[in-house]
Amino acid sequence: MRYHIGGLPQEKLLDLYKGMLKPRMIEEKMLVLLRQGKISKWFSGIGQEAISVGVTQALNAEEYILPMHRNLGVFTSRGVPLHRLFGQWQGKKSGFTNGRDRSFHFGTQEYRIVGMISHLGPQLGVADGIALADMLRRKKRATAVFTGEGATSEGDFHEALNVASVWNLPVLFCIENNGYGLSTPTNEQYNCKDLVDRAKGYGMESRIIDGNNILEVYSKVNELCNAIRKRPRPILLEFKTFRMRGHEEASGTKYVPEKLMKKWAKKDPIANYEDFLKEKGILDDAKIEAYRAEIAEEINTNLQKAYDEPSIESTPTKELNNVYQNFDYKHYKKNDNTENIRFVDAVSQGLEQSMEKYNELIIMGQDIADYGGVFKITEGFTKTFGKRRVRNTPICESAIVSAAMGLSINGMKSVVEMQFADFVSSGFNPIVNYLAKVYYRWGQNADVVIRMPCGAGVGAGPFHSQTNEAWFTKTPGLKVAYPAFPSDAKGLLATAINDPNPVLFFEHKGLYRSIYEDVPTDYYTLPFGKANVLRNGKDLSVVTYGAGVHWALEILEKHPEINADVIDLRTLQPLDVDAVYESVKKTSKLIILQEDTLFGGIASDIAAMVMENCFEFLDAPIRRVGSLETPVPFAKALEQEYLPKQRFEAALLELYAY
Ligand SMILES: Cc1ncc(C[n+]2csc(CCOP(=O)(O)OP(=O)(O)O)c2C)c(N)n1
């Protein structure tokens, strides 16, 4: 191995050596503990230390770094106290997740580390968001994110690199090419010579770096960090290295040819560097012994500290109270001055007033800038707020949701517009796995609102008509709003943006231009979890939301003999079950109407909850009405048959007569 010292002082050369020695020695200890059955799982980074350590040392302490599962050296180089790391791996309180997540699945703002989620790829888009916040604030900072070569096959990799390149984000994308993704060798993973070949396709610079040569890693990354701090842009780095142990310890390395192992063993990043430093007279056996003794002492004391800590205890209440960040709802009253506007205008106004309130609120979505979005909600916004804050995105829902996560990590709010709610499936993974779980896992909030133009009745067929709120209401960590009226849409959107938790905000396209209301002109908020009782009656309770509210009102209009309570839920998570129970206790009959197909929807859960909590008050079986269990059909006649309006009328009359 050839080492070039360049201008590095002796102190730095030794720092890099010690920097690699520490994670190696911790790992060696972990392997012993694993054999003793004292820890459950271990992903080894032995042989790859030069990458973690070199990259982390090249970054400044305030710059974010996003490691993966073999990057122990990132944590040690950032000075994370070892007892906290050990505590994390043992699921103890002193760890970073209160026993809620394992191994390296955590982040810490204190050390500017953002840990991975198991799905690997979303991490790359999160780095985009972090870098975007730095760039918007004109901070001259770099962000580094790691990935294995296996995860470069995920769509997230492509999306994140493309966005970073289009937006010139100062991100170092660090591929650790260690030969295998679990048991899959590189020739079964990708079909180009080097992974950096792909950079050209993204219009991005790239470098291949010997990942086992600490001086090469440190010097090159240092130089590149300086370059992208000065002139923001992403760079793709491919560190050539090798995975010297199994994917995780239990899985072994039988499938790896002996020859390869031998070849790479000779390239061990620590042994080689040690020899080099010795040759240069910078290091000797006595010094090595002293370093080793010092690190061993640190490991042992900290390990004991972690062992001495009692096992974590909690209660269901405590766990439930840690799924969402606490949000102190602040009520801004409606002003008296109103304007008769459409649903679509109310959303637009609400968004605009929040953009004025928060100058670090960013909107991202396809065609939302000068074009104004396909529903024209953001028309004219670029004139007022500029294209830095009203951002057109490439077609890459996953990377944009991940980037929104990154903005939140770096302290900015964002609203992501899905062009149609249907397309959220392409960004589903980061929503349900990253945004929804991040607060519970390590106390980081996801201050993101995802706007969801949804719903059928507009002749748009199976892929532009779905109302997919049930995909999200069942995922703890997300909030879901679904207003039916312009004034609710405006006030609830303002609250969604104030709320530091992730909110899915459903806007029915069929209501956009058909529903008008006198809407207060100024900024105001409405609380989540408060249903609206639109009509008071004694005969039965109708519970619904979204377009269902308008169908119910229309049909009740046709049947003046029925005196019904009509409850518009307005938000589905949190859900105002008390309003439902109160109404059922009064009327003793309940019908729930939803536009979504019936099975597994919110109506089923409300029915179950009423059954469990108000059974003695019921005088009739609860009725649920929803769409047919088919995709949403295109032709008008089919769509009308699909939607529940007619079936609702029949069920309503039956229930009334019961
Ligand atoms: C989306 C997803 N698919 C599959 C897995 C299972 N898995 C975990 S790590 C891994 C291999 C990753 O290989 P690579 O990215 O090269 O990283 P390495 O483990 O080699 O460091 C696989 C298949 C996963 N965690 N997430």
Q: Which atom in ligand 1 lies closest to the alpha carbon of residue 148?
A: 15
How far, in Å, is the centroid of ligand 1 from the Cα of 658?
A: 57
Counting from 1 in the atom list of ligand 1, the atom nearest the Cα of 48 is: 21
Of 126, 145, 141, nearest to 61 by C-alpha is: 141
Tell me which of 83, 464, 508, 550 is the catalytic residue: 464
- What average pLDDT does range 423-434 have in this prediction? 98
DSSP state of 395: S
Q: What angle do CA 624, 625, 631 make, to 5 degrees?
A: 130
Interatomic CA distance for residues 241 and 248, integer angstroms: 17
Q: Is the pLDDT of residue 223 over 90?
A: yes
Task: Quick: pLDDT tens for 532-555.
Answer: 999 999 999 999 999 999 999 999
Question: 234 CA distance to ligand 1 centroid (A)?
Answer: 23
Q: What is the mean pLDDT of residues 413-425?
A: 98
Give the pLDDT band of residue 614 (cuts 50, 70, 90). very high
Residue for token digits 């219009």? 203
Q: Do 141 and 170 contact (CB within 8 A), yes or no?
A: yes
| 231 has pLDDT over 80 | yes
Which sign, positive or negative, has the C-alpha torsion 249, 252, 257, 261?
A: positive
Distance 213 CA to ligand 1 centre (A): 24
Three-state DSSP state, 286? helix
* 151 closest CA partner among 172, 126, 182, 128: 182
The number of C-alpha atoms within 13 Å of 71 and in the hemisphere containing its C-beta is 34
**What atom in ligand 1 is closest to the CA of residue 154?**
1
251 lines ligand 1 (CB under 6 A): no
Residue nearest to ligand 1 atom 11, measured at CA = 181
Cα separation of 452 and 428, whole Å?
A: 13
pLDDT digits (tens, 9 = 90+) for 29-77: 999 998 888 887 899 999 999 999 999 999 999 999 999 999 999 999 9
Whose C-alpha lies nearest to ligand 1, atom 22? 182
**This model's pTM is above 0.85:** yes
For range 250-259, the mean pLDDT: 93
DSSP string, 65-104: EE--TT-HHHHHHTT--HHHHHHHHTT-TTSSSTTSS-TT
Q: Whose CA is nearest to atom 24 of ligand 1?
A: 119
User: Helix (H, G, I), strand (E, B), or coil: what is residue 418?
Assistant: coil
Strands annotated E in 290-350: 338-342
**pLDDT the model gives residue 39:** 82
- The question of whether 464 is a catalytic residue gets the answer yes
Evaluate: CB of 133 within 6 angstroms of ligand 1.
no
Q: Which of 285, 246, 237, 185 is nearest to 47 (CA)?
A: 246
Closest atom of ligand 1 to CA, residue 177? 16
Tell how far CA 477 is from the center of its chain: 11
Q: Would you call the peptide bond into 574 cis, given omega within 30 degrees of 0 as the criterion?
A: yes
| Residue 243 Cα: closest atom of ligand 1 | 20
pLDDT tens sequence across 570-580:
999 999 999 99
Q: Is the dihedral of CA 189, 192, 193, 197 positive or negative?
A: negative
Q: What is the residue type of 632?
A: V
Q: What percent of the chain has pLDDT over 90?
A: 98
Q: Vertex 146, ends 145 and 150: CA angle to 5°? A: 140
Backbone angles phi, psi at 343, to 5 degrees: -55, -45
Reading the block at residue 582, the tokens are 């109160």
CA distance 409 to 411: 5
174 touches ligand 1 (CB under 6 Å)? no
What is the distance in A from the centroid of ligand 1 to the CA of 148? 8
pLDDT score of 163? 98
In this structure, what DSSP letter does residue 210 have? E
In the chain, % of residues over pLDDT 70: 100
Residue 402 banded pLDDT, cuts 50, 70, 90: very high
245 lines ligand 1 (CB under 6 A): no
Supply the DSSP symbol for 108: B
Q: What is the CA radius of gyration of the chain?
A: 28
Q: What is the pLDDT of residue 41?
A: 83
Alpha carbons 597 and 628: distance in angstroms, whole number = 6
| Structure tokens belonging to residue 152 | 């470069």
In short, whether 149's Cβ falls inside 6 Å of ligand 1 is yes
> Which pLDDT value is given to residue 40?
75
State the distance from the centre of ligand 1 to the C-alpha of 285, rounded, in angstroms: 39
Q: Hey, which bits of 475-536 come out as E strands?
A: 479-481, 503-508, 516-520, 532-535
> Which residue's CA is the closest to the ligand 1 atom numbered 9?
182
Residues 381/349, Cβ–Cβ less than 8 Å: no
CB atoms within 10 A of CB 373: 22
107-158: pLDDT as tens digits: 999 999 999 999 999 999 999 999 999 999 999 999 999 999 999 999 999 9
Span from the CA of 150 to the centroid of ligand 1 (angstroms): 6
| Per-chain mean pLDDT for the chain | 97
Q: Distance between CA atoms of 565 and 561, rounded to whole angstroms?
A: 13
Q: Are strands 205-210 and 390-392 parallel, antiparallel or unpaired?
A: unpaired
